[in-house]
Chain A
Amino acid sequence: MNKTSRKPKVNHCKTPMPSQQPSVRARNFLEVALGYTAEMAAEEAARCMQCKDPACIRGCPVHVPIPGFIRAIREGDFQKAIELVKEKNLLPAVCGRVCPQEEQCEKECLLGKKHEPVAIGRLERFIADWEKQTCTIRLPEMAAPNGRKIAVVGSGPAGLTCAFDLAKLGYKVTIFEALHEPGGVLFYGIPEFRLPKEIVKCEIALLKRMGVEIVVNAVIGKLITIDEIMQEFDACFIGTGAGFPRFMNIEGENLNGVYSSNEFLTRNNLMHAYMSPDYDTPVVRGERVVVVGGGNVAMDSVRTALRLGAKEGIIVYRRTEAEMPARKEEISHAKEEGVRFECLASPVRIVGDNGWVESVECIRMELGKPERDGRRRAVPVRGSEFRIPADVVIMAVGTEANPLVPRSTKDLALNVRGYIVVNEETGMTSIKGVFAGGDIVTGSATVISAMGAGRKAAKAIHRYVTEHSQQTKKSV
């Protein structure tokens, strides 16, 4: 047995992550978590038990060889560590920051059965940042160009991963992005303090070095249709993301000061409204900001509002904290920064004054019987209405399918909710050669699951194009 793996004593807890003080960070847009030093990474890597049959890999949607890269960190071979990660994951600096590891790799970690699991996410982030800081980013091994062209619609996590895998296989990939900046939700959605935009830009620069072409300002369905794409490309992947913001359809939702989380975050992240007036896009900086919802997007919104100068940020959620879909880490970060949680409450109307929001009228909720998804149903308590004064209200209550591509694509099968129907195995849609994945198929989910879908589709596209070209050859 290797000496290094027989450590006499294992730390029960994860090596703590250094981060900005809550009182300081709640007022700036710099990254909250600062990342491990090499010493901290070595200390954490030493906790890994190097299981023979690693469950953590099964917990990862893209199957990063986790024990392998951790072992390389432990041995001080950072170059090897990053290469191992990048075999499976194009965006480790992103995933190390925003993946819900506690529900994936770290959930399966054997050490976690008794103690805290290995901090896989922090180590992934460490090794990715090391690569960036030391400017050692190398191009992955790439197959010779095969002369086949693939179109990818949308440059979010699903599209980027699909493009990366196909470029590696020798395809000429063109990504079409509707906005002026590639990255999708990584750019417009996730705030700077959680995922610095420089990191996203860096990952995208690598794709470009690999020969992937990115066309911005290209709204597929409007500028070019899927049918037209299929005339020019051998196959196409649709990863257009979650789409339309949902509202609650309550009175007062169109008052000034009411935002969808999509709009509020887009103004700040994509358009840099937090730097207005140096940037031209404005945003209403509220003093008392109510955010409705309990997911990661709600946490991102309320924490952004604090950084814009809000004296008070309040989360209104209809169930209890235990049912919140947000990551525990995001909830505790928000709490540390002083966010107030108004749980078991649901807005019934937004009260305005002279066209602007003045308060949110809520009703108390209680938990009833479990629903089909296992979460207990929230039931309003009669006569329990109360008001929360607010000048900005942000609706973070989910999204609906964006119909731009479906509306312009005949024969594209959709489910009742408007999402694209795909073959579970291959990701192929009802149109031959057209694949889809990510939120436009599943509805709102995570960055890593979208990446998993992009990867699966890339594999299937490779198989499809290979078989297809053989058939064409035969028929010729």
Chain B
Amino acid sequence: MQDNRPPFKKFEQRNQELAAQYDEQYYKKQHSKGKLTAKERLDILFDKGTFEELDAFARPAKSDNKKGHFGDGLICGHGKISGRRVFAYAQDFNFMGGSLGATHAQKIIKVQEMARKMGHPIIGLIDSGGARIQEGIASLAGYAGIFLNNIKSSGIIPQISVILGPAAGGAVYSPALTDFIFMTRHTAQMFVTGPEVVKEVLNEEITFEQLGGADVHASKSGVAQFVYDDEEHTLLGVRKLLRYLPSNNIELPPADKSTPIAAPDRPEKLSLIIPDESIRPYDMLEIIQNIIDQNSIFEVSELYAQNIITAFGRLNGQVIGIVANQPKVLAGVLDVNSSMKAARFVRFCDAFNIPLLVLEDVPGFLPGSEQEHLGLIRHGAKLLYAFGEASVPKVTVIIRKAYGGAYIVMNSINIGGDFNFAWPTAEVAVMGPESAVKILNKRDIEKAENPDQLKVQLINQYKEEVANPYIADELGYIDEVIDPALTREKLISAFDLLRNKYTDKSPRKHGNIPL
């Protein structure tokens, strides 16, 4: 504004001082490390010109730094993403290494509380050296305040953490409490204890990347659900994710009217993808892509526990959460990691009104002492609990195998699945033919003249009579055996029926999900 009167001149001057903070040096500092500045990141994240900063002039609690003294190393505010309002905060590594001081934390807490009050998602862009040692316990108190807000907002608004630099020690717990973590390769690392201390205490030599880099967390620990090669793509990934999510837990996921609905063009292909021999693997992603809207799939935790697929997608324009066994990895068995990955995804979808589609081809749980000692019992139960508890529409299509306990866990009707369809290739049984025959006909095989031939005969007989969907169908445990080419139509119809689904819940503080 052009007004030379003193109050307005002072206002102008202050704005100019703030702008002067973001000079060429500011950008060069981050760029020389291969990173973007907090300002640039927010620019990419939000719709053009919609970001409004709050508390830009906040001063650090202990301020002896003349330059860069506005903001306390944190830019926070709100803007629009795809036309919807979102809150965000971005740590600024250029100021004291983005470390968390009392003011810095206060700003974060402010936007967290606003986001929860107003019902908009909140995104944290993390790039910080950790607690600001100079401010001592005040820093820790700041973290605690942030964590508490993460917890209070959990299940009310989507919370996303984007790790674009270091996040160590206590700083990792806020992301850990949020719904999704994004990481950028090479520049982002997360760990509770850094390599130097690890070397001191345990004498273990390990680099930053090897200890807590993006790939480690995407594929080994499962802590990060999304990894990208660079920051631009990471931030675009956040935008992409938000297109599937409602702004808060009262809303339904958004419709996307600007993209025309494109159904897959060859549904006849579906039945051909399944190999003739039951032991042969195939790619479940191909099945998914021939059922849901074209190009609408967005995988979550793609590189972790690859024996199960968790993904968002659209079916006739409506957002759904997909949980599907992947036969080409570990034969699609359920194990500790896949149970946890799927359980977390299911509970997120339940919290945010996203209907669930389950595509099942599971031969059972992974046997062996390793799994048992890791607590397969506890972790497998997580997925069972998650499905049972979820009150969103839940539809299962049994593609091929559905054996034993795993069949129950994968959203069967009896634990609350709303619809269970099956393909003609489905095998619903207590156990597979080979194991069943070994147990049921043990004596006959032992006494037989030609045990191998009898075994093959009995296995084939079992395959004919038991390993099919018809017994379950006749008993009502499957609603309908369907022509694979008609899967999409059946599902659209089922989800349409379930649109206004409501289930009563007995009041309780909360259940005790096995952890």
The judgment on whether A and B are partners is no
A interface vs B, CB < 8 Å?
none
B interface vs A, CB < 8 Å?
none
